[in-house]
Structure 1
Amino acid sequence: MTHRPQIRVPATYMRGGTSKGVFFRLEDLPEAARAPGPARDALLLRVIGSPDPYQKQIDGMGGATSSTSKTVILSKSDSPDHDVDYLFGQVAIDAPVVDWSGNCGNLSAAVGPFAISNGLVDDARLPRNGVAEVRIWQANIGKTIIARVPITDGAVQEAGDFELDGVTFPAAEVPVEFMDPADGEGAMFPTGRVVDELEVPGVGTLPATLINAGIPTIFVNAADIGYTGTELQEAINGDAAALARFEAIRAHGAVRMGLIGHADEATSRQHTPKVAFVAPPADYPASSGRTIEAGEVDLLVRALSMGKLHHAMMGTAAVAISVAAAVPGTLVNLAAGGGERTAVRFGHPSGTLRVGAEARQVDGQWTATKAIMSRSARVLMEGWVRVPDGTV
């Protein structure tokens, strides 16, 4: 009986924020996978362990959640204004799909440390001790991200005392700025309104804020869909009917945002848009067991990623939250009490997060100049990932 040997591909397994993913240098990929297309997708699917009808990704590096079924490809940038080009692939768990339609804000915090450690940033730009400013070109959406990475004795500092709800252990803080965070080339509010009436067959007509910032996101009020905004994962992820309603909202919101032509097309675009629901502050127990008190936060937000309620908050959705909160009249802004604001602290299932943004009107259109949040990152494993020969 013939057998296929395995091939080794240099890779690094990293945590960034509340996500984990497999990181590659473009030059280390098999030649056929260095360009976009079926060969690249096939490699990444096999690395992660998808598609898996059991939805466990046992035979791969994925962790069977939207937060852990992720891949990153990095290369030295040809642009004099950037150090590294960053491409993100969200790998579906039970389907043969790698979604390239958006960014991962959490893993963005790991891009700078990886780039420095792997020789993708010029030595002249790196201090012996201090903070290195890594200029990242986010290739999925064509935007600039600035990561400020602590350096100690010429190496990336990973240990520290910065605590991030949703991550068990403290680490070094990595502030991340998302410049001009409106996603894509269209308007930040694609319908031209900060609140729309979104008609969703089988669900009803809901007030919704549809925004392109960080990642295309659909915000609805928790109360309008029967929730309080204090829910944890188990309240939603085991409810098939609830997940179907959220997917219907996501699909019809995507059509309204001009991302797809028909709601049926949403099945092939799982990563974007996101759908989230908001509520005013309230006490609730976080997934860690700690009680979050209403006075600690400006609003509550719960968001779904890849069809399930996220255990904390996606980084790109946090950008959308920060920008929407900065625009008077959006559902996010109203849940936070309304008015003008440049920062909010919101409650999510794992705890709280503070985010900031600058937004202004130009010729009657809202635009955002940047959004800011802090994350942390750490190398978990490095070496080679193996896949059967013939995968690519």
Structure 2
Amino acid sequence: MRTRPLKVALLGCGVVGSEVARIMTTHADDLAARIGAPLELAGVAVRRPSKVREGIDPALITTDATALVKRGDIDVVVEVIGGIEPARTLITTAFEHGASVVSANKALLAKDGTTLYDAAARHGRDLYFEAAVAGAIPLIRPLRESLAGDTVNRVLGIVNGTTNFILDRMDTAGSGYSEALDEATALGYAEADPTADVEGFDAAAKAAILAGIAFHTRVRLDDVHREGITEVTSADLASAQRMGCTVKLLAICERAADGKSVTARVHPAMIPLSHPLASVREAYNAVFVEAEAAGQLMFYGPGAGGAPTASAVLGDLVAVCRNKLNGATGPGESAYTRLPVSSMGEVVTRYHINLDVADKPGVLAQVATVFAEHGVSIDTVRQKGKDGEASLVVVTHRAADAALSGTVEALRKLDTVRGVASIMRVEGE
């Protein structure tokens, strides 16, 4: 074993960063044996230096992250501060001064991963980011390496634990959205400001990363269609149950049938109870990968939290350090296909539409005519009326999203349609 330690700089020492530092210390001998050299925590950049950080030498604490990554003797920088800046500048600066980088920064990778990839390649450094998607679940490396010889056609998954917990409570306990969100907050699953989770921003960033790797093309956050769960109601869950389904917030990345484009989207959807994703409970994550030769693969586990995320960071750290000792680098960006990202309007799936209509003869015929005029075929219809008002639930066959949008716009103009209560896609069949 090499005696000179590999020096690691840690940017951020919150929930994840503190776990990374702890594991580096408590498992130092094992990590050294696996890498072939000991690790040395050479510096920890934080915003609040006065905070007591158990197990970390106060002499390592600094508020000057830039100076830390510029030192020149740092072998690997671990970035767990999140956000776009200063993280982007710190990472590119680390590459310039000889360090490889392990990051958990999904927002930056989704918004401007190209800059990071290009800087890493230009300076011959590694950029690893397993922890950016689905916490402890090994997913990025299987897509980048294990399936590198295969063709991935679809990635379908639950990649946000907070929203899965909320929807699970609404489904199994009969909670309303607000009640389920309050419970998620009390248990620490939801942040004080849950917008990034419940509005789908977190899942959309992960979908962009997964689509780019799976399809060997560049997919940015702005390319991902995004809808959150704030409009999902108990009535939607009840309707799903009547169909033998449940509701999940799904990240869906697909290659077009002709192979000439891809789509990436995040939205709530009904999925059959027979689908493995339907049984993913509470704050867990699960991702289905469909490849031509490998078939269907499922990855399941805790998708967030200090220890699970730190596990993914340490796995990357070991890999990057091994590469460093061997004078090599791991896989970089693979974007050779240059496939365009199609709009949401071109996505084809089934739909569940709940309409509030007048309870009188001829309404169903009018509604059916609108669907037919827009080329959307109806599979089933369920109608329930009382005191001059009725609820009309329509489930369609597969249709383009643009066709469904045109249908709904026309339905809203009918005098007999008092409102479109909800629209939900049906996936996973």
TM-score by length of 2: 0.24
Larger CA Rg, structure 1 vs 2: 2
Pick the structure with more strand per residue.
1
TM-score by length of 1: 0.25
Asked which structure has the greater RCO (Cα within 8 Å, sep 6+), the reply is 1
Pick the structure with more helix per residue.
2
